[in-house]
A and B are shown apart, each in its own frame.
Chain A
Amino acid sequence: MSVIDLVPYEEALASYDPVMGLEVHVELGTKTKMFCGCSTALGAEPNTQVCPTCLGLPGSLPVVNATGVESAIRIGLALNCEIAEWCRFARKNYFYPDMPKNFQTSQYDEPIAFNGYLDVELEDGEVFRVEIERAHMEEDTGKSTHVGGATGRIHGAEYSLLDYNRAGIPLIEIVTKPIVGAGDRAPEVARAYVAELRELIRALGVSEARMEMGQMRCDVNLSLMPKGATKFGTRSETKNVNSLRSVERAARFEIQRHAAVLDDGGTIVQETRHFHEDNGSTTSGRIKEEAEDYRYFPEPDLVPVAPSREWVEQLRGELPELPRVRRQRLQEEWGISATEMQSALNAGAIDLILATIDAGAPADQARKWWLGELARRSNEDGVELAALPISPAQVAKVSALVAEGKLNDKLARQVIEGVLAGEGEPDEVVAKRGLAVVSDDSALGDAIDAALAAQPDVADKIRSGKFAAAGALVGAVMKATRGQADAARVKELIFEKLGVTPE
């Protein structure tokens, strides 16, 4: 691979308009696989959730998972799609060892849902409409682990291990129409689209859509055309971009790379590319021109899917409040700005905040913890907020301890840290670490006396009515009690000892 000098982002966008196409695969959270009765639970021993059908044994046959179809229709409806009255599965033929039948049962020219859109909100509250081409049903492949070799990819590996537990897990592939007109906001649109889609999938309850677990995977197709042109350029397809941040970075990198190639008078090769989390770059995968002809044809082992209009309308009527509508409602209820709401969305914090409120915490406290301390931790640890080992109920408990005066902010952070470290429930962490606020007057008395004695000049200032000076004494007491004192009570006691009464 030759090293290329990327064109600075702003410069690239001055000369070119980006066109994107996003393909998102969502693993459905159905109990069983798409075409057989095997469990879809994650984390089982390799090759223990398999049967003749998902292993593609000779003679085996698929049967469609009705819940999978229902989920696909609900996703389609939530994406404002038309739902096919009659559609078929198709076989996508290609050889790969992790695909037991050497064809993937998918849909080709008759997707279950088509012609929709999703409105996504950017950081500043601007709404961008992303048109949806189609959403179709298919099955996942098994998982290959390539052992040996430097890259973890099949080339250069010594051997590969195959786990077919994932083979046959239902997938919905959601494909956008070409996204044009986003200009320099294209990477942001890409990110916001995937984030919004993730919220939608979760709101529908059809998948947890956890990108870090591979339950939601995104391919970013991108091309550039000279500014003002209408004919799309040649695209690259960056596969399996697996976090929101990576989606944005991949789009940004490809814009800069394409611009560099085009500026040099070169041509973009239509190819798949791999994204590298470590440095945000992409590298060439395989050239598409020599890629397989998938020889699609209607799957003869399955009868067509023909959802009745009554059923579709019933499902439409049962759709939950969609995320954007809900966010607008919450934003009003919580009295926050669009930007604040957007950052809660980006952090994946909305449901956590709501659950924390449900567990008894005031809304501002719930937001403060999830978007502050916990968001920082999730960034540091590189895990999603929801994956942190702390529950909304535990956060609500910490918040309650603060409200009761048993913890102050500093101590509360330590309690949270203890819960995250697996030290138990908030109460247990308080007890084990001895973190309770000291508000016992006699225990504080000595520390206050010492502070007054050490800083007689400050005591005089307070006596003369300069109450703000008390801060220095409070600080000294807090220091002496290693932060465990109740600062408000310390202040009261100081005034009491000095015989003054602030207004």
Chain B
Amino acid sequence: MTDLIRSTAAQTANAIASGEVSAVEVAQAHLDRIGAVDEKVHAFLHVDTEGALEAARAVDAKRAAGEELGPLAGVPLALKDVFTTKGIPTTAGSKMLEGWRPPYDATLTRRLKEAGVVILGKTNMDEFAMGSSTENSAYGPTGNPWDLSRIPGGSGGGSAAALAAYEAPLAIGTDTGGSIRQPGAVTGTVGVKPTYGSVSRYGLIAFSSSLDQGGPCARTVLDAALLHEAIAGWDPMDSTSINAPVPAVVAAARQADVKGMRVGVVTEFGGEGYQAGVMQRFHESVELLRSLGAEIVEISCPSFTYALPAYYLIAPSECSSNLARFDAMRYGLRVGDNGERSAEEVTALTREAGFGPEVKRRIMLGTYALSSGYYDAYYGSAQKVRTLITRDFDRAFADVDVLISPTTPTTAFPIGERADDPMAMYLADLCTIPSNLAGNAAMSVPCGLAPEDNLPVGLQIIAPALADDRLYRVGAAVEAALNDKWGHPLLEEAPAL
């Protein structure tokens, strides 16, 4: 192993398993890298040096004892700060939870630990996962390693930036409206939103329960698949978790073959508001897939036009209820408790001080949408749109194996550019939201740099629920063909930090 931080997760795992390198050396190399660059990138909110080294030592000890190691044993990972980690600070990017150390591990956290994955720390994110730029973090923005003055996407900007900055080969994100895929697209990394219900939400601090889904982030499709298999699967602690076998995503990533597949191009995505360079790379991807043996068809999904407004009713409605628990009574921030004020007053002062403006905006939107007399017009109608979108997908998937689109209409925009324009910010998730509403599976895979700004563009691939393996087949095929064409992975074109 020549370069511990630039290796893929698969390579690193093999090197550790074969004894070529120790897990501690790998962990230390990444901790050193974080020490060297994270001041500039600010991908991490908390680095758990001791915990990471201890986990790495345990893997080395297991290997020394001749025990069998899992496929990701000893591989470092950056965990989005929205999953609980026992005894390790967990903030969800909010002042509300500053200093909170959860008394329990999320199911996903536990599975990572059991797989021998080395958790380096917790990554920055938009507060409570609400945002598309990570600017809504209460702890300051994260820079995009391609251009530190630009956003790394959001809400999982920290996880994506950690990958692109070689601070970790693997990361975990959560995707409620695109929070894994859009950061993946704008940082030139791979991000997957698995089928809703395939990765347990137990221990995932909820934004919008019916939309939230944890998933893998990586620099390669195969690495994402390995991580996918480590974290997915039924969990009795999450009643929305699906009790079905996890699709064979690693095998699909290795297959990397689209011959004979029918690929649908969603006609609603494109046109006004889409950056020319993004559309150019997208059209090239379509041609690439055709050249690789896929059959390309155009598919219209008319209800997708209403996805964004429906999303901005459903997600805020659920969040207004999910975030009600932050009341200063049991954990987290408490403001104004001077022994004189009532519990009600302290709750109000704490929520005023502890929630950022975007979170407040969404709580208010959701509270309004659920109010008596407005429920049917807002929340009720949004649920109907959700049904229509699901039907559009069903019709489409009756005809094609996967759908494709650009992941996000533009490349990474400058930090601050859309901070005061929520509508412009919300448009970043235009193409990703339908999959959250329908609960199916989707991936963003790098497909080149936009000529006008030399920033990464993502190709979105969408598969039916429980057919996540198709994402990996198509994604890996595109990745392999493009790497061949370029002679190296896209990320190598990123400027040195």
A binding-site residues for B, Cβ under 8 Å: 52, 55-64, 91, 93, 95, 97, 100-103, 160, 162, 293, 295-297, 300-303
Contacts and interface: CB of A to CB of B under 8 A. Distances in A.
B92 A64 contact: no
Interface string B305-323: 0000000000001101100
A95 B239 contact: no
Most chain A CB within 10 A, of B102, B206, B330, is at B330
Contacts of A56: 325, 330
A58 B321 contact: no
B103 A52 contact: yes
Given A93-B324, A95-B324, A297-B317, A61 B372 contact: no
B204 interface: yes
A58 B317 contact: no
B139 interface: no
Interface string B331-373: 1000000000001100100000000000000000001001110
Nearest to B339: A159
A148 to B, nearest CB: 12
A62 B324 contact: no
Given A60-B202, A297-B318, A300-B318, 19 more contacts: A52-B102, A52-B103, A57-B330, A58-B206, A58-B325, A58-B331, A59-B106, A61-B201, A61-B237, A63-B237, A64-B239, A93-B370, A293-B371, A295-B320, A295-B371, A296-B370, A300-B240, A303-B239, A303-B240
Given A95-B324, A295-B372, A59 B239 contact: no
Contacts of A60: 104, 202-203
Given A61-B202, A63-B236, A300-B209, A95 B330 contact: no
B380 to A, nearest CB: 9
Contacts of A93: 320-321, 324, 370
B329 interface: yes
B325 A100 contact: yes
Contact of B84 (A59, A97, A101, A297): A59
Contacts of B100: 58
Contact of A297 (B206, B236, B321, B347): B321
A59 B329 contact: no
A448 B367 CA distance: 90
A101 B322 CA distance: 8
Interface of B: 83-84, 90, 92, 97, 100, 102-104, 106, 201-206, 208-210, 236-240, 317-318, 320-321, 324-327, 329-331, 343-344, 347, 367, 370-372, 375, 379
A76 to B, nearest CB: 22
A interface, over-half SS = loop
Nearest to B328: A97
B329 A162 contact: yes
B209 A301 contact: yes
Contacts of A101: 324-325
Most chain B CB within 10 A, of A55, A58, A64, A300, is at A58
A102 B325 contact: yes
Nearest to B379: A297
B347 A63 contact: no
Nearest 5 A-B pairs (CB), nearest first?
A: A102-B324, A300-B209, A295-B370, A300-B210, A59-B203
Nearest to A47: B330
Most chain B CB within 10 A, of A61, A95, A102, is at A61
Contacts of B92: 58
A57 B92 CA distance: 13
A65 to B, nearest CB: 11
B367 to A, nearest CB: 7
Contacts of A100: 325, 330
B239 A63 contact: yes
Contacts of B379: 297
Contacts of B327: 95, 97, 102
B231 to A, nearest CB: 15
A103 B321 contact: yes
A352 B308 CA distance: 64
Most chain B CB within 10 A, of A57, A101, A162, is at A57
A57 B239 contact: no
Contacts of A160: 343
Given A61-B239, A63-B237, A300-B210, A295 B367 contact: yes
B329 A58 contact: no
A57 B102 contact: yes
A442 B326 CA distance: 83
Contacts of B318: 297, 300
Nearest to A36: B237
B361 to A, nearest CB: 17
A95 B343 CA distance: 10
Contacts of A300: 208-210, 240, 318
A97 B317 CA distance: 21
A58 B206 CA distance: 7
Given A59-B204, A62-B239, A162-B329, A297 B104 contact: no
A107 B167 CA distance: 47
Given A59-B84, A97-B327, A295 B344 contact: no
20 contacts: A52-B102, A56-B330, A58-B90, A58-B100, A58-B331, A59-B203, A59-B206, A61-B239, A63-B238, A93-B324, A97-B327, A102-B327, A103-B324, A160-B343, A295-B367, A300-B209, A301-B206, A302-B239, A302-B240, A303-B239
B196 to A, nearest CB: 11
Most chain A CB within 10 A, of B92, B325, B343, B372, is at B325
Contact of B329 (A63, A64, A97): A97
Contacts of A91: 321
Nearest to B351: A95
Contacts of B375: 295, 297
Contacts of A293: 371-372
A52 B104 contact: yes
A370 to B, nearest CB: 46
A62 B322 CA distance: 13
Contact of A58 (B84, B239, B371, B372): B84
Contact of A55 (B97, B320, B330): B330
A291 to B, nearest CB: 11
Most chain B CB within 10 A, of A55, A59, A296, is at A59
Contacts of B343: 97, 160
Contacts of B106: 59
A55 B330 CA distance: 8
A61 B100 CA distance: 18
A59 B326 CA distance: 12
B111 to A, nearest CB: 15
A89 to B, nearest CB: 10
Contacts of B203: 59-60
A60 B84 CA distance: 9
A59 B330 contact: no
Contacts of B205: 58-59
Contacts of B103: 52, 57
A289 B372 CA distance: 13
A297 B321 CA distance: 9
Contacts of B209: 300-301
B104 A57 contact: yes
Most chain B CB within 10 A, of A63, A64, A162, is at A63
A59 B107 CA distance: 10
Contacts of A102: 324-325, 327
Most chain A CB within 10 A, of B92, B343, B379, is at B343
Contacts of B238: 61, 63
